[in-house]
Amino acid sequence: MPTIQGKIIAALEPRSGQNDRGPWMVQEFVLESYDQYPRKCLFSVFGADRLQQYNIKAGDDLSVDIDIDAREYNGRYYNSVRAWRVTHIQAPVAQAAMSPVANQPFAVPQSGVAVAPPPPIASDPLGGDTGEDLPF
């Protein structure tokens, strides 16, 4: 299933209980992606052993492999996003730290001579001025 990378911005309180199979524990986390337009994803980690193994805290940079599933309850469906693998990573370098040459419209090659951008394309490909935007 999908992998999401980002920073943990919230670690919610763990919940626990008892069922016919024994005790259980689950904790939910909010991850904000590194995308240009960051997205947030609420995911859960089920099991005290996994919670201890992953050791997730607010501010951690993670790569999270998730399973997405929906379940029905009283005629309504609810999504479930569960992590099945969590890897601690280093945050990617910000775009602003890139070379300023990469953001220019044209670059200066090693020879020191500037290369101009290509000329603009004529608005009328047939060469005549018809006064219309359509080519037919």
**Across 27-34, average pLDDT:** 96
Tokens of 4: 């999401």
121 — alpha (psi -120 to 50), left (phi > 0) or beta? beta
Model pLDDT for residues 72-118, shown as the tens digit of each residue: 999 999 999 999 999 999 988 755 444 444 444 545 555 555 556 66
CA–CA dist 52, 114 (Å, integer):
57
Q: Which of 35-39, 94-98, 111-115, 123-127 has the lowest mean pLDDT?
A: 94-98
Q: Taking a C-beta distance cutoff of 8 angstroms, is the pair 11, 56 a contact?
A: yes
In percent, the amount of the chain with pLDDT more than 90 equals 65
Output the pLDDT for position 102: 47
Output the pLDDT for position 98: 47
**Across 34-60, average pLDDT:** 95
